[in-house]
Structure 1
Amino acid sequence: MKILPFSNISTLLWYILVPYIVFNMSVYGQEAISFKHITTTDGLSQSDVNDIYQDKFGYMWFGTHDGLNKYDGYGFTVYNPDSEKPGSINSNLIYNIVGDDEGNLWIGTTGSGLNFFNATTGKFVHYRHKDGDSSSLSSDHITTLYLDSKERLWIGSRNGLDMLDLSLPSKDFVFQHYNSVQTPFIAGWDGTMIHTIYEDKNGQLLVGSPSGLFKLAKDANGKDYFGSITSTIGLPNAAVRDISEDSLGRLLVATGQGVYGQVKGKGEMLQKFYDGDFSTLLVDNDNRIWLGSNDGLLLFENTSGDTLPKFTDRFVYDSRNPASISKNIIKSLFLDNTGIIWIGTNGGGVNTFDPGRKKFRHIRNTSDPNSLSYDKIRAMYEDSHGTLWIGTEGGGLNMLTKKNDNGSYNAFKHFNSIQRTFALTETQIGNRKVLFIGTEGSPGLFQLDISNPNKVSENNLVPQEFLGGVFSLLTDSEQNIWIGTYGSGVHRWMRTKNEGEYEKEVFSHYSNSTNSVPSDIIRSILEDSQGNIWLATGNGLSMISAKERYKKRPKFISYTNNPENASSISHNYILSLYESHSGELWIGTFGGGLNRYVKGKGDTADSFISYSEKDGLPNNVIKGI
Structure 2
Amino acid sequence: MLRKILNIAYIVFFTQILYANESRILRLSNNDGLSNSSITTIFQDSNRLIWVGTWDGLNVYNGAEFENYRSNRQDSSSITNPVIRQIFEENKNILWITTDYGINRFNIATKKFQPYYLGYKDKETFREHSFLATRNSEGLILAASYKSGIYKFNTKSEDFGPFSIPEIDKNNIIQLFFDSSDNLWIVNDKNEIFRLKIKSDKITEKQKITPPADFLHLCYDKKEKIWFQYENYTLGYYSIQTEKFSDWGSKPYGELNEVLENEGNILFATNTGLIQYNKHTKTESILLSGIPVLSVYSGTQDILWVGTDSQGIYRILPPQNYFNTFTSNNIPELGNYAVRAIYKDAENKLWIGTKGGGVISITYLGATLQQARKFTTDDGLINNSVFSLAQGPNQDFWIGTDNKGLNYYSFQEKKIKSLKSNRIFNIRQICSVYALLQADDSTLWVGTSGNGLFKMTIFRTPKGEYEIKNYKHYKYNSQSNNSINNNVIYSLAIEGDSILWIATRGGGINRMNIKREYFTAYKNDKSDINTISSNDVICLYIDNKKRIWAGTTAGLNLLTEENGKVRIKRYTEKEGLANSNIHGILEDRTHHIWISTNKGISRMNPEQEQFVHYFYNEGLQDNEFSDGAYLSFSEGQELYFGGVNGFSVFHPDQIGMSNYNPPLYLNSFKIDNIDQPLNLKNDHPISYKQNSLSFHFSI
TM-score band, normalised by the shorter chain?
0.5 to 0.7
Match of 2:5 in 1: none
Give yes or no for the alignment of 1:292 onto 2:270. Answer: yes
| 1:103-133, Cα deviation, whole Å (9 max, x unpaired) | 8643222223123241xx3613414146699
Q: Secondary structure at the match of 1:401?
A: strand
Task: Write the letter of the residue equivalent to 1:410.
Answer: A
Please name the residue that 1:30 is paired with.
none
Match of 2:427 in 1: none
Measure, in 1, the Cα distance between the counterparts of 2:497 and 2:158: 69
- Output aligned runs, 1:344-355, within 5 Å: 344-350=307-313
CA distance 1:493–1:253, change in 2 (3 Å) = farther
Q: Which has the larger radius of gyration?
A: 2
1:519 corresponds to 2:493 = no
Identify the residue that residue 615 of structure 1 maps to in structure 2: none
Please list, as runs of the form range in 1=range in 2, the aligned pairs for 1:482-521 lying within 5 A after superposition: 484-490=503-509, 507-509=521-523, 511=525, 514=528, 516-521=531-536
Equivalent position of 1:97 in the other structure = 87
- Of residues 87-96 and 501-510 in structure 1, the stretch that sits farther from structure 2 once superposed is 501-510
Which amino acid is the alignment partner of residue 20 of structure 2? L
**Structure 2 CA distance for partners of 1:205 and 1:524, relative to 1, 3 Å:** farther
* 1:127–1:263 CA distance, 2 compared to 1 (3 A): closer
Deviation at 1:465, TM superposition (A): 3.6
Equivalent position amino acid for 1:486 in 2 = R
1:466 Cα shift? 2.9
Which of 189, 195, 209 pairs up with 1:230?
209
Aligned with 2:358 (options 393, 396, 401): 396
The SS at the match of 1:331 is strand
- 1:31 equivalent in structure 2: none
Cα–Cα, structure 1 residues 527 and 373, in superposed 2: closer, same or farther, change >3 Å? same
Could you say which residue in structure 2 is the equivalent of 1:261?
237
Match of 2:296 in 1: 333
Distance 1:145 1:255, change over 3 A: farther
Spell out the pairing of 1:152-191 with structure 2 (5 A cutoff).
Answer: 152-153=140-141, 155=143, 157-158=145-146, 159=148, 161=150, 171=156, 173=158, 175=160, 178=163, 182=164, 185=165, 188-189=168-169, 191=171
Which of 48, 58, 67 matches 1:77? 67
C-alpha separation in 1, matches of 2:361 and 2:510: 27
Cα gap change, 1:113/1:403 in structure 2, threshold over 3 Å: closer, same or farther?
closer
Provide the identity percentage: 20
TM-aligned CA distance change 1:254 to 1:574, over 3 Å: same
Specify which structure has the higher proportion of strand.
Answer: 2
Aligned partner of 2:461 in structure 1 is none
CA contact (8 A) 2:555 2:572 kept: yes
What is the DSSP-based 3-state SS (H/G/I as helix, E as strand, rest coil) of the residue aligned with 1:371? helix
8 Å CA contact retained: 1:114, 1:127: yes
In 2, Cα distance between the equivalents of 1:529 and 1:56? Answer: 45
For 1:581 and 1:105, how far apart are their aligned partners in 2? Answer: 49
Q: 1:273: which partner in 2?
A: 249
Specify the alignment match of 1:23 in structure 2.
none
Which residue of the other structure, out of 372, 382, 387, is the alignment partner of 1:410? 372
Deviation of the 1:580 alpha carbon = 9.9
Sort the Cα spacing of 1:15 and 1:560 in 2 relative to 1 into closer, same or farther, 3 A: closer
Offset, 1:421:
4.2
Structure 1 residue 64 displacement after superposition = 1.7
Q: Is the 8 A contact 1:256 1:278 kept in 2?
A: no
Structure 2 residue 117 is matched with structure 1 residue 126: no
- Structure 2 counterpart SS, 1:458: strand
1:554-593 to 2 correspondence within 5 Å? 554-558=566-570, 574=582
Give the residue type in structure 2 aligned to 1:244: D
Please state if 1:251 is matched with 2:213.
no
Query: SS of the counterpart of 1:364?
Result: coil
Aligned counterparts of 1:341 and 1:543: Cα–Cα separation in 2: 40
Q: Determine helix, strand or coil for the equivalent of 1:378.
A: strand
Report if the CA contact (8 A) 1:508-1:519 is conserved: no
1:388 Cα deviation after fit: 2.9
1:17-46, CA deviations, whole angstroms, 9 ceiling, x for partnerless residues?
xxxxxxxxxxxxxxxxx9976543444323
Kept in 2, the 8 Å contact 1:209–1:239? The answer is: no
Kindly report which structure 2 residues correspond to 1:354-433, keeping only aligned pairs within 5 A, or say none. Answer: 356=319, 363-364=327-328, 371-372=333-334, 375-380=337-342, 386-402=348-364, 407=369, 410-411=372-373, 416-417=381-382, 419-422=384-387
1:542 corresponds in structure 2 to: 557
CA-to-partner distance for each residue in 1:288-335, whole Å, 9 max, x for gaps?
442424xx2363645469xxx78877976xxxxxxx42xx4x432334
Q: Which residue of 2 aligns with 1:24?
A: none
Which residue is equivalent to 1:6?
none
**Counterpart residue number, 1:50:** 40
TM-score, normalised via structure 2 length: 0.57
Among 17, 20, 37, the alignment partner of 1:13 is 20
What's the offset of the Cα at 1:253? 0.9
Q: CA deviation at 1:68?
A: 1.0
Structure 1 pair 102–160 and aligned structure 2 pair: CA distance change class (3 A):
same
Task: Find the aligned partners of 2:187 and 2:391 in 1 and give their Cα distance.
Answer: 63
Q: How many angstroms does 1:595 deviate by?
A: 9.1
Q: 1:51 to 1:571 in 2, by over 3 A?
A: closer
In 2, Cα distance between equivalents of 1:57 and 1:478: 59
Query: Any idea what the Cα deviations from partners look like across 1:191-247, whole Å, max 9, x if unmatched?
Result: 3224252534x565545554344333259x99335633412xx4446465311167x
Q: Distance in 2 between matches of 1:388 and 1:124?
A: 65
Q: Would you say the 8 A contact 2:140–2:201 is kept in 1?
A: no
Residue pair 2:582, 2:596 contacting (<8 A) in 1 also? yes
Preserved contact between residue 218 and residue 229 of structure 2 (Cα < 8 Å):
yes
Q: Tell me how far apart the structure 1 counterparts of residues 400 and 162 of structure 2 sit (CA, whole Å).
A: 76
> Does the Cα contact within 8 Å between 2:53 and 2:84 map onto a contact in 1?
yes
Unpaired segments ≥5 residues, structure 1 = 1-9, 17-33, 134-138, 317-323, 613-618
Deviation at 1:537, TM superposition (A): 1.7
Q: Does the Cα contact within 8 Å between 1:195 and 1:242 map onto a contact in 2?
A: no
- CA deviations 1:478-501 (Å, max 9, x no partner) are 99986534345446689x9xxxx9
Distance 1:574 1:303, change over 3 A: closer
Counterpart-to-counterpart distance in 1, 2:518 and 2:135? 69
- Give the letter for the 1:270 counterpart: S
